[in-house]
Structure 1
Amino acid sequence: MTAIFPRFSKPAPMFLDDSFRKWARIREFVPPFGIKGQDNLIKAILSVTKEYRLTPALDSLRCRRCIIVGNGGVLANKSLGSRIDDYDIVVRLNSAPVKGFEKDVGSKTTLRITYPEGAMQRPEQYERDSLFVLAGFKWQDFKWLKYIVYKERVLFPKQGQVQAVSSR
């Protein structure tokens, strides 16, 4: 990675936790290369987050074989679901559907990695036993995550403006 991005910081944590302020290198750059300008949003999100690491069940998995499943439709009518479920870890990207497509895409999801524009819109579409991972590329992505964590509804009153309304 350092051959491509010489200023890449190898020891950066995989997931942000309360110690994120100690990571000076990631605080120097704006997303997606760092978290510059996101301190308050990240602090607010982490203040109500119970876990910052992989769950014990996920952490103990031995990843001999993993598969990444996208949402491009290339698996449609291929009947590969049972073969996909045989992998140790199944990573799904964005809104890659599962329900109703198990025969083709399997039913197992270990991690679901997404950014706001690619995320599924209804909570019931997410798998209960998988880990949701936000890939934050811009400052609005962190704001979107805060809305979700605080159960705020996102309103779009005018093009280009975002507003949150608490639903607590």
Structure 2
Amino acid sequence: ECELPNRNLYEFAGTLKINSAAFPIPLGADQILLRGSQLKNTAWIYGIVIYSGHDTKLMMNSSSVPLKRTNVEQVTNKQILFLLIILIVLCLFSTIAGEVWSYRNKDTHWYLGYNLDEDRETWRHIGFTFLTFFILFNNLIPISLQITVDLVKFIQAYFINW
């Protein structure tokens, strides 16, 4: 008999009951080998597997590796997010200004083909105008910056291992 699986590596409580023995033999942390241990300078042993798989003490203590990001990546991501917010605000402002101009000049600039009488056409036009400005201003966000940072890291790792 032994304790239920737990995370404590340095404690173990159990008893070994042998039919011919009058009393059970107590087992402690000195009589246990954890997963991955190597036993040396011993001719032979008796062993019993207590827990296996995900119930082992080492597996219960292991955790997933956290995602490591450098300070440069964190600052770069924050600034790219800030630039995205600026881009959206700029596109909204430009869309509103463009729609105001279209509304004021739809009679004098008839050749542009603005038919803003129906609500559905108006919202479609506003959406297309926003997308147009988004495409025009998309160079505000440096997409190649992340690729360049990764390329520099790769080259530095190559030279460090050289």
Q: TM-score, normalised by structure 1?
A: 0.21
Larger radius of gyration: 2
Instruction: Give the number of the structure whose residues are more often strand, by fraction.
Output: 1
Q: TM-score, normalised by structure 2?
A: 0.22
